[in-house]
Chains A and B, each alone.
Chain A
Amino acid sequence: GENVEQHPSTLSVQEGDSAVIKCTYSDSASNYFPWYKQELGKRPQLIIDIRSNVGEKKDQRIAVTLNKTAKHFSLHITETQPEDSAVYFCASQGGGSNYKLTFGKGTLLTVNP
């Protein structure tokens, strides 16, 4: 089955700095890669996603890049703010109508004021 590796497991940055989280996946048939932000005790919240036919996507301070050949994708957050502090998960979804998501182990991002 699919395996998703996520790094780093913890990331501490100063407010205003950029944060980058990287993921790799194993199944070349995976075609959808969402990123979720999860606050303690809450449900995962989709913050950005990318499909396999796109190399990069940006939404204000958040961007995601995808390299299908290398099977890795990354989350970039610019101008970080304390409210960005949370756990971030990458995930991959297989092809077809499966809809199954495989999650990375998560990154605890701390933005220090």
Chain B
Amino acid sequence: GAVVSQHPSWVICKSGTSVKIECRSLDFQATTMFWYRQFPKQSLMLMATSNEGSKATYEQGVEKDKFLINHASLTLSTLTVTSAHPEDSSFYICSAPGQVIYEQYFGPGTRLTVT
């Protein structure tokens, strides 16, 4: 099956710094990718839809200036958490629809800890 990777798998950063998370589709092209955030013991909440070659679509309540998304190629989307604060500490997961309708493949997730 299709594989989606994320890098890094975990990152610790200081408050006020920025962190970039990469999401790659390894063996298929993805014009759309999704970014989710998952706090401990909670569900996956969709943050934004990343569209190759165009602006991302953000869900209500998600600050687009804080969570910068770039989808510069058909296999790579990046999420940059700018001026990170401890409340941004979470598990960030990306996903991409596969070639077969309804399929969606999840990355392994990135654990962000802001100190």
A-to-B contact residues, CB < 8 Å: 32, 34, 41-44, 46, 49, 51, 89, 93, 99-106
The reply to whether A101 and B42 form a contact with Cβ atoms under 8 Å apart is: no
Once the chains are docked, how many angstroms separate the CA of A34 from the CA of B101?
A: 13
Which residues from chain B contact A41 at a C-beta distance below 8 Å? 91, 109, 111
Q: Which of A34, A93, A101 has the most CB of B within 10 A?
A: A101
- The count of residues in chain B whose C-beta lies closer than 8 Å to any C-beta of chain A is 19
Once the chains are docked, how many angstroms separate the CA of A102 from the CA of B42?
A: 13
The reply to whether B109 and A42 form a contact with Cβ atoms under 8 Å apart is: yes
Once the chains are docked, how many angstroms separate the CA of A89 from the CA of B97?
A: 18
The reply to whether A101 and B46 form a contact with Cβ atoms under 8 Å apart is: yes
B12 part of interface (Cβ distance < 8 Å): no
How distant is B104 from chain A, measured CB to nearest CB, in Å? 7
Once the chains are docked, how many angstroms separate the CA of A42 from the CA of B109?
A: 7
The reply to whether B44 and A44 form a contact with Cβ atoms under 8 Å apart is: yes
Which residues from chain A contact B67 at a C-beta distance below 8 Å? none
Hey, what's the 0/1 contact readout for B47-87 against A, CB within 8 Å counting as 1? Answer: 00100000000000000000000000000000000000000
